[in-house]
Amino acid sequence: MPRPKRCRRICGYPDYWSFCPEGVNLPETIAFTLDEYETVRLIDYLKMTQEECATQMGVSRATVTSIYENARYKIADAMVNGKRIRITGGTYRIDEIPASADINEKGEN
């Protein structure tokens, strides 16, 4: 039995939920999870390292690397093949408190 996924901490919902290429009538849709969005936002937009991103999201650096690789592949696939990206789902929890704050968490995520 596989180990259950740990909830990834994200700071908020995106302002835009989908991106679509111009000139394509019914493009194929790629599902982009909220944790993938958060990883790309932290690493590429906010210029954090993968270690800083992992701390912010409450997961290991190896998990961030895996999420980031999947996200980059999906972005490249959408750009090269003219597919729509729809941000939806994932294993996450919304958290407005910075990861560096001293938080005592109890129980399961």
* Predicted confidence (pLDDT) per residue in 77-88, tens digit: 999 999 999 998
The arithmetic mean of pLDDT across residues 91-106, rounded, is 55
Angle between helices 50-57 and 61-81 in degrees, nearest 10:
110
The arithmetic mean of pLDDT across residues 19-34, rounded, is 88
- What pLDDT was estimated at residue 94? 78
- What pLDDT was estimated at residue 4? 66
% of the chain surpassing 90 pLDDT? 55
Name the one residue in this structure whose structure tokens are 């939806």.
88
